Amino acid sequence: MVGLAATFGSGAMTNSINDFDGADLFLVIGSNTTSQHPLIGSRIINAVKRGAKLLLIDPREIQLAEFADLHLRHDIGTDVAVLNGIMNVIIEEGLDDKEFVETRTEGFDQLKALVSKYPPRVVEKISGINSRDLKNAARMYAKADKAMLVYAMGITQHTTGVDNVKTCANLAMLTGHLGRPSTGVNPLRGQNNVQGACDMGALPNVYSGYQPVTDLTVKKKFEDAWGVAALNDKVGLTIIDMMIAAQKGELKALYVMGENPLMSDPDTSHIEHALSNLDFLVVQDIFLSETAAKADVVLPAASFAEKEGTYTNTERRVQISGKAISSPGLARPDWQIICELSTLAGYPMNYKSPVDIMKEINAVTPSYAGITYERLERGYGLQWPCINEDHPGTPYLHKDKFSKGKGTFIPCEFKPVVEMPDEEYDFMLTTGRIYYHFHTGTMTRRTSILEREAPAALVEINPEDAKKLGIKNNETVELTSRRGTIKLKAEITKRVPQNVVFSTFHFHESPVNMLTSPAYDPIAKIPEYKGCAVKVRRCA
Amino acid sequence: MKTLAKKDLIKAMNIWAQKHDVLSPTKTAPGDCIFDTFREKTFTLDYKKPPLSPKAVFFPHSEVTFKVEKNKYKEIVAAKKMLIFGLRACDMMGILQASSFMSRDRKDVYYNAKRNAATTIVMACPGPQNETCFCTTTRSGPVAQKGFDLQFYDVGDAFLIEIGTPRGEELLSAIPLADVDDSQARRQIEEFKQKAIRSIPEVKSFIKAMNKLKDGKADEKIWDSFGQKCITCGGCAFVCPTCTCFNVYDHQSSPGNGLRARTWDACLYGGFTREASGHNPRASQALRLKRRHEHKLLHFNEIDIQGSLCGCVGCGRCSDYCPVHIGTLEVVKAIAE
C-alpha cells in the first residue's frame, strides 16, 4: 500500500474484478490466486480458456501453473531483480510505451539507469531465471494490449515488500498498462475487509481516507467533527513496533480486536514474551483465540452474521452486510463495544446504528463522501473514490492522471532475503495459507468439513530433498529455525522447488510462526513471512 | 376443473398462511428471487428459476439431530406445517428423487418428518426459465407428472388447478374458485404442455453422453481437464436438487453438554472419500468429478429416479453457478464430443 501510494498516490487495486474478463494477459506474481481468491482465480482460468495469456512468476508450482503460458520459478525474494530484468529487456528492445512514459510519468531516466544494471545474464545469476524465459516474459507483457498485473502477499511479505510493490508499479507504468479497463496494478487483499480497515484509518499514520494525522488542516477538521481540543499529531506505532515496545516494557496496555498475534505474528516466542510483559491486555474476538486466552479481559464480539454494517472489498467496493441471526450470550457488535467503552472513558459516543456511523464517514472522508447507506441499500455497492452523491463510483483508477498528478518511477535495487539459508539452516522456509483455512484458524478450524479437508499442518518438501533426507510422504518431521522448532507431517511434492519448504500458519499444533523471521520492511513494517532459514530432520 | 382467478391469488395465499408456514417466490431488495416466507409486499410471480432449489426446506444446510444436556440425550426431529407455492417441475422431481433416496431402504426421520409436513403447489413452466433449462431431456418437466398436491397452469387471467392428492384438494376448500368445463380445461392444459415442451429443445449431447458412459466409451481425459479447473467449492452439489450427502459432527460445549449435527457435504471434497489410513480411493479432483457425474448419469438407482431419465433433473443450476463452467451441460457436451 505504501509502495503504490508513493508511485501513484493511491494504495489500492487500480482496477476491478470484472476487468479480469476483458484482459489479454495476466502477470500473476506472488499470488496463489485459485487458492486465496478462488473467484478471481476462476476468472483468470476462464480468460485463459478463451485465449488470454497467463504469465506466472512464482517459486511454487501452484494450480495456476497448469494454465500458464510461461511460468518463471524464481528464487524466493528475488522479485525486484526479475522485474528489473524484465524492464531492462523492455527498454533494450524498445517495447516501452513512450507516449505514456512521456506524458504521464516522471523519473524515467533514473529507472533506465538502474535497470540497465539488470541485464538477463545478471538476473539469471540472482534469480535462477534463464535469459530466454526472462526475455519472453518481457515481450509478452509489454506487447499485450490490455495486461493486468496481479499480486498478493508473495510480493508484500518481504523485507523488500515496498520495493517489490514499487517495482511492479514501475513495470506497469513503463508499458502503459494503467488507467484503462482490464489493465493496472492489482494487489488482491487477503481478508474481506482489510481494504475497509485501512480506508477507515486503522493505521498508525492516517485518519479515514488516508488523511495524514500530521497534517494540521486535517487535524483541525477532525477536532471540529469530534468536538475535541487537541488530537495527537504524532504518528503511532505499527504492530511490529508495539510488540518491540511491549517487550522493552515501554508499552503497558494493548487492546486487540479480531486479531490473533500469538499465531499470526512472526517469531512467536518474542510475541509471547511481549504480551506477558504487558500490564493489561484486552482482546475483543468472536472466539477465545490463543491471544484471547492470555488476556486480562475478553470482550465477546458479534460475528459477521450477527451484525450489520459495510465491508470494503479488494476492488474498493463498499457493500452492505445485513444481520441474519442474533448473537449468542453477551456478544455484541464491535462498534457498540467501542461506543460504550468510550462513553465510560469520558467521551460519550452516541451512534444509534451503523447508518449514523456511515453518515460521519461520508462527512469526514472525501473518497467516501458519496457512499451513503441509502445508495448502498439500492444496489451492489459503490467503489471509491466516490466524491459526492451523484458520483457513480470509480471502477478503475488513474484514468487521465494519477491521484498524485504524474506517476513517479521509483527504481529499486535488489536486496536478498535477510536470513538466507546457510550450512546449518540449509532450507528456505516460505509460508502462506491453504485453500481450506483462513489465517490462524479461529473460525475455519471450528468448521467440521474444512477441518476434515485439512486437519493438520503439512510441510511441502521436494521429492529430491526428501530422498536425500530419507523422509517419506506423511512422515512427521521436525523444522527448526534459529527461533524455535515445530513438528508436522511432510507432503512430498514437486510444488516446491528444491531447497525450499512451504508451510502454513493455520494450525496451533504446529505454529509455523515459531520459526519465521522477525525481520521486516523498514517502511511498511511488514514481516518477512515469505523467507527464513530452517533445517529439516526426520523425527527419530 | 377448478380455476383460481389471478386477482384472488393473494387472498388464497393469505388464507393458506393462517394454517401453514407458506414459502413462495420472493423478490429481494437487490432484485433476486428466492423461496422465502410469504409476504404480500415481496411476493412475485415473475420469478423464473430461483437460484436455490427448495431442498433446504427438508434438508437444511445444517441441522441438529440430538442434544445432550446434563448427560441427558434428547433427539431433535424438527418439522413445521409448510406449504411451498410455485415449485418448478424440475424441483418437484428433485424432491421426489431425494425423498425416495431418504426413505427407500432406511427412513431418514429428520428428512421425512419435514417432507410429510409439507404441501406442494407446482407452477407448471410455460417454457424455459433461462438458457440452461433442459427438463424435457431428463423427463422431469416442464409440467410435473406426479408428486405435487396441486399443480397450477397459468392461462392468462386465471390458474387452472390440477389436483394431485386429497391434501391438495383440501387446500381448495377455503379459497374462492370458479368452475370450468373439464374437457375444455384438459384441452387447455394439453396445449399449454405441448407449447412448453416445444420451447425447451432436447439436449442431444446429454443422451449421447449417457450412452457413451454406459458403453464405456467416454474419453477419460475430459475428467483431467475438468479436474484441473475445478476449485473444489462444492457449489454444484449445494445447488443440486438431488444431492443429499451430509457430514455428521459432534460438538461438546462443556462436559456433559453438547450436540450432534449434520451439514451439507459434497463428493467433490477430498475428505469425503478419504479413509482413516490417509488412502483416498478418489485421490484426485478429476476422479471426484467423474464420480459425481457418473452418479447422476450412469450409476443412479432405478427406483430413486421416479420415472425420469436419470439422477439429474435438468434444472441447469450447476451450469448457472459453477464459477469455472463445470456444470452438467458442459460435462455432457465434453463427453459427447
**Residue B99 to chain A, least CA–CA distance (Å):** 24
pLDDT band at A380 (very low <50, low <70, confident <90, very high): confident
pLDDT of amino acid B214: 96
One-letter-per-residue 3-state SS of A97-122: CHHHHHHHEECHHHHHHHHCCCCHHH
Q: Please check whether residue A38 touches B, CB under 8 A.
A: yes
pLDDT of amino acid A370: 97
Res. A11: pLDDT tops 90: no
- How far is Cα of residue A326 from the mean position of the Cα atoms in its chain? 32
CATH of domain A427-538: 2.40.40.20
Task: Name the pairing type of β-strands B62-69 and B72-75.
Answer: antiparallel
- Which of A46, A377, A453 is the closest to B324 by Cβ? A46
From first to last of its 337 residues, chain B has per-residue pLDDT tens of 999 999 999 999 999 999 999 999 999 877 789 999 999 999 999 999 999 999 999 999 999 999 999 999 999 999 999 999 999 999 999 999 999 999 998 999 999 999 999 999 999 999 999 999 999 999 999 999 999 999 999 999 999 999 999 999 999 998 999 999 999 999 999 999 999 999 999 999 999 999 999 999 999 999 999 998 898 999 999 999 999 999 999 999 999 999 999 999 999 999 999 998 889 999 999 999 999 999 999 999 999 999 999 999 999 999 999 988 999 999 999 999 9
**Residue A378 to chain B, least CA–CA distance (Å):** 7
Task: Name the pairing type of β-strands A407-408 and A105-106.
Answer: parallel
Question: CA nearest A84: which of A52, A62, A57?
Answer: A57
Contacts of residue B233 in chain A, CB cutoff 8 Å?
A: 38
For chain B, the C-alpha Rg in angstroms (whole number) is 21
Q: Reduced to 3 states, what is the DSSP secondary structure of residue B51?
A: coil
The C-alpha torsion from A291 through A295 and A297 to A303, rounded to 10°, is 10
B window 24-43, beta carbon within 8 A of A? 29-30
Q: Using CA atoms, how far apart are residues A237 and A234, in angstroms rounded to an integer?
A: 10
CATH of A194-383, one of 3.30.365.10, 1.10.10.60, 3.40.50.1110, 3.40.50.740: 3.40.50.740
Question: CA nearest A46: which of A20, A65, A70, A77?
Answer: A20
Q: Decide if A45 and B232 are in contact by the 8 Å CB cutoff.
A: no
Question: CA nearest A295: which of A285, A307, A304, A310?
Answer: A285
The C-alpha torsion from B21 through B26 and B28 to B34, rounded to 10°, is 90
Q: Decide if A45 and B29 are in contact by the 8 Å CB cutoff.
A: no
Q: Phi and psi at residue A458, in whole multiples of 5°?
A: -125, 155
Q: Phi and psi at residue A509, in whole multiples of 5°?
A: -70, -30
Place of cell 482490464: A182
pLDDT of amino acid B28: 85
Q: Using CA atoms, how far apart are residues B261 and B116, in angstroms rounded to an integer?
A: 21
Q: Which CATH class is domain A2-188?
A: alpha beta
Place of cell 442474533: A326
How many other CB atoms sit within 10 Å of the CB of residue B107? 11
Question: CA nearest A445: which of A511, A503, A506?
Answer: A506
Place of cell 393469505: B14
Which residues neighbour B151 within 8 Å (Cβ) at sequence distance 6 or greater? B121, B122, B123, B124, B143, B144, B161, B162, B164
Cβ–Cβ pairs < 8 A, chains A and B: 39
- What percent helix, strand, coil does chain A show, rounded to 5? 35, 20, 45
Instruction: Determine the average pLDDT of the residues in A168-191.
Output: 95
How many other CB atoms sit within 10 Å of the CB of residue B278? 9
Per-domain residue ranges for chain A? 2-188, 194-383, 427-538
Q: Reduced to 3 states, what is the DSSP secondary structure of residue A131?
A: helix
Instruction: Determine the average pLDDT of the residues in A91-106.
Output: 96
* In contact, A376 and A191? CB cutoff 8 Å: no
Instruction: Determine the average pLDDT of the residues in A76-88.
Output: 98
One-letter-per-residue 3-state SS of A429-475: EEEECCCCCCCCCCCHHHCHHHHHHCCCCEEEECHHHHHHHCCCCCC
Chain B residue with Cα closest to A379: B30
Contacts of residue A66 in chain B, CB cutoff 8 Å?
A: 228
pLDDT of amino acid B29: 75
Res. A403: pLDDT tops 90: no
pLDDT band at A36 (very low <50, low <70, confident <90, very high): very high
How many other CB atoms sit within 10 Å of the CB of residue A359? 14
Q: Decide if B232 and A379 are in contact by the 8 Å CB cutoff.
A: no
Q: Please check whether residue A449 touches B, CB under 8 A.
A: yes
Task: Work out the burial of residue B142: count CB atoms within 10 Å of its CB; fewer than 13 is exposed, 13-18 middle, 19 or more buried.
Answer: buried
For chain A, the C-alpha Rg in angstroms (whole number) is 23
**What are the DSSP calls for B233-295, one per residue?**
--HHHHH-TT---EEEEEEEEETTEEEEEEEE--TTSGGGT--TTS--SS-SHHHHHHHHHHH
DSSP H/E element including B95: helix B89-101
pLDDT of amino acid A200: 96
**What are the DSSP calls for B163-226, one per residue?**
E-SHHHHHHHTTS--EE--HHHHHHHHHHHHHHHHHHS---HHHHHHHHHHHTT-S-THHHHHH
**What are the DSSP calls for A329-383, one per residue?**
TT-B-HHHHHHHHHHHTT------SHHHHHHHHHHH-GGGTT--HHHHHHSS-EE
Supply B147's cell numbers.
408428486
Verify cis geometry, omega within 30 degrees of 0, for the bond prior to A261.
no
Question: CA nearest B88: which of B316, B292, B306, B311?
Answer: B316
Query: A2-188 with A194-383: one CATH topology?
Result: no
ipTM for this prediction: 0.84
Q: Decide if A449 and B229 are in contact by the 8 Å CB cutoff.
A: no
* In contact, A477 and A492? CB cutoff 8 Å: no
pLDDT of amino acid A502: 97
**Residue B249 to chain A, least CA–CA distance (Å):** 7
- A511-to-A159, A257, A262, A445, A487 alpha-carbon distances in Å: 21, 21, 9, 14, 9
How many other CB atoms sit within 10 Å of the CB of residue A211? 19
Q: Phi and psi at residue A413, in whole multiples of 5°?
A: -85, 150
How many other CB atoms sit within 10 Å of the CB of residue B71? 8
Q: What is the pLDDT of residues A139-170, one digit of tens each?
A: 999 999 999 999 999 999 999 999 999 999 99
* In contact, B262 and B231? CB cutoff 8 Å: no
Q: Decide if A380 and B30 are in contact by the 8 Å CB cutoff.
A: yes
- How far is Cα of residue B82 from the mean position of the Cα atoms in its chain? 16
Q: Reduced to 3 states, what is the DSSP secondary structure of residue A254?
A: strand
pLDDT of amino acid A378: 85
Q: Please check whether residue A452 touches B, CB under 8 A.
A: yes
> Mutating which of A17, A18, A42, A325 best tests the B interface, going by the most B Cβ atoms within 10 A?
A42
- Which of A42, A448, A449 is the closest to B324 by Cβ? A42
Res. A1: pLDDT tops 70: no
Res. A4: pLDDT tops 90: no
Q: Using CA atoms, how far apart are residues B149 and A207, in angstroms rounded to an integer?
A: 61
> Is the pTM here over 0.80, yes or no?
yes
Chain B residue with Cα closest to A322: B29
Q: Please check whether residue B325 touches A, CB under 8 A.
A: yes
pLDDT of amino acid A420: 97
- pLDDT above 70: percentage of residues in chain A: 100
User: In the beta sheet, which residues pair with residue B34?
Assistant: B26
Contacts of residue A452 in chain B, CB cutoff 8 Å?
A: 247, 269, 271
Chain B residue with Cα closest to A40: B323
Contacts of residue B30 in chain A, CB cutoff 8 Å?
A: 379-380
Q: Phi and psi at residue A451, in whole multiples of 5°?
A: -65, -35
Place of cell 464480539: A301
DSSP H/E element including B83: strand B82-87
